[in-house]
Amino acid sequence: MHAPPTPTKAQMQMMAEAAFAALPDQFRERMGDVVLQVEDFATPEQLASVNMDDRWQLSGLYEGEPLPDQSIWQSGRLPPRIWLFREPLIAEWRETGVGMEDLVRHVVVHEAGHHFGFSDDDMHWLEDQAD
């Protein structure tokens, strides 16, 4: 059986934007100017920011000030960013057989949770409750 072609950065960007657009209104409205960006791999600095060193292990990252930590007195900062890392997502897709759209949606939702100040433990608990 022939494997489907791997998505390009542009295709994965479109998947991420569709997942973002599908967030419930009350969440999407509070995402403000969050930017979605797809790259092949995290940079060494991004890996270090989450205490990782294997670029194949990081499929997404939130960079920015979570809503609970923001202040009206802050200005001049770059907008928050949700990064999706294409190659680790493709590797997970091949290894697990989970649909690529589902993987992308999971990363977008997970990283959006960080925007709202949820920890990884909080999100794992919420996911477990939903199952």
CATH number at residue 43: 3.30.2010.20
Instruction: Name the band, by pLDDT with cuts 50, 70 and 90, for residue 87.
Output: very high
Pair 29, 20: CB distance under 8 Å: no
Instruction: Report residue 30's pLDDT band, with 50, 70 and 90 as the boundaries.
Output: confident
Check: CB of residue 113 under 8 Å from CB of residue 123.
yes
What is the side-by-side order of every strand in the sheet holding 35-39? 35-39, 81-85, 60-63
Domain assignment present for residue 4? The answer is no
The pLDDT, as a whole number, for residue 68 is 56
Tally the domains of the chain.
1
Q: Which of 47-56, 62-71, 91-100 is the least confident region?
A: 62-71
The answer to whether position 2 is within a domain reads no
Residue 61: pLDDT over 70: yes
Domain span holding position 14: 9-67+77-130
pLDDT tens digit string along 105-115? 999 989 988 88
22 within some domain: yes
Whose CA is closest to 20, among 82, 79, 71? Answer: 82
